[in-house]
Amino acid sequence: GFIGIQIIFISSIFNILFITYLSYFSTVLTFKSNLDPDNFTIPLITTSGDLIGPALVIIIFLLFFI
């Protein structure tokens, strides 16, 4: 019920912050390395989002609700 909504909300906030910082710094790093940010940043961001999203739900549940 309500605890599930809280878990999803908190983990979504952390996921958005993590993906935002990761995309910014990876874009700057690939641009400074004279690489195309589209070829490196987009796969990195999608893979991290797929891995970090469910992991954050589990971590938030374990940290705050047990």
The answer to whether the beta carbons of residues 63 and 13 sit under 8 Å apart is no
Enter the pTM of the model.
0.80
34: pLDDT confidence band, cut at 50, 70 and 90?
Answer: very high
51: pLDDT confidence band, cut at 50, 70 and 90?
Answer: very high
Burial class (CB in 10 A: 0-12, 13-18, 19+), 9: exposed
Identify which has the larger pLDDT, 11 or 65: 11
Burial class (CB in 10 A: 0-12, 13-18, 19+), 47: exposed
